[in-house]
Amino acid sequence: MSDADDDIEILSEPPPPRVEALTVAIARDGQAEERARTLAAEVPVSITYNGLAHAVMMASPIDVEDFVVGFSLTEQIVERAEEVEDIVIRPIALGLLAQATIPAHRQKALLENRRNLVGQTGCGICGIVELEQAVRRFGAIETKPLISGAAVFAALDALYPLQRLNRETGAVHAAAFVSPSGEILAVREDVGRHNALDKLIGYMARAGIPGESGFCLMTSRISFELVQKCLAARIPALAGISAPTSLAVRLSQEHRLTLIALARSDTFQIFSDPHALFRDPGDSSEGCFRVASPAR
């Protein structure tokens, strides 16, 4: 990766499309027939700060401004969305160049702790030199999360129709921010689950939506990076439809983040409940337990 974006060729072509069409052969009962298939686009997004290259992430070429702001916040390059003073998105060979402008003191700190990373699909740690940079520590969540079983089930029911890109392609993750009543307030999609969450966090920061006002719902497994991003955005509760990793659970418990996983229309499992939202406050036992939906 070049240190300066002056070396990158800017194209006059339009930005890459969000989807691409392909004709595929479908085999059924010993016969093959051709059908049109819509594929999700996946392109390199090169992020620069004040003209200096910082990261290349493989991502869906939509909501890129939200992505840059969210990435800048969750990677602790800036502390507030307003510190990303300007973003210019330009088409380059095979992808996009996202040129961000940040204050001089943020740039200085970034250079002092510089870590260039070349991410595979949404990978948030590729290229990190120091181990302690990979698993960062945050302040514990002291705010009682505004989440309930009814809200989780309501959000699960409402999410699929809002996943427009996934309905077209079946290939992307979604990150949603949910109100205490279960209403989905925002959704962002991407081929990478970390990117989808960065886009959501970036949108929330730009729109002035505080993380403490609801909870996050992910259509993916829960990795430790997703927990770290919620902690960075001060989102006190995270739910996902797939299982968590052991490190994600450990970080959630250490930082008092409420963690729900394996969420389905009729049940979900709770892996971290530090605020005793789903169990008796006097029950100090640790471990996973299950919550079932009431009869509908």
**Catalytic residue annotation:** 123
What's the number of CA atoms in the CB half-sphere (13 Å) around residue 67?
32
Q: Which helix (H) or strand (E) holds 169?
A: helix 164-169
Cα 105 to Cα 285: distance, rounded to the nearest angstrom: 45
Residue 50 to residue 61: CA distance in whole angstroms: 21
Sheet with 267-272, edge to edge strand ranges: 184-190, 173-178, 215-218, 237-240, 258-261, 267-272, 289-292
Lookup: tokens for 279: 């169990």
| Local structure of 224: helix, strand or coil | helix
Could you tell me what percentage of the chain is helix, strand and coil, using 3-state DSSP and rounding each to the nearest 5?
Answer: 30, 30, 40
Task: For residue 289, list its beta bridge partners.
Answer: 270
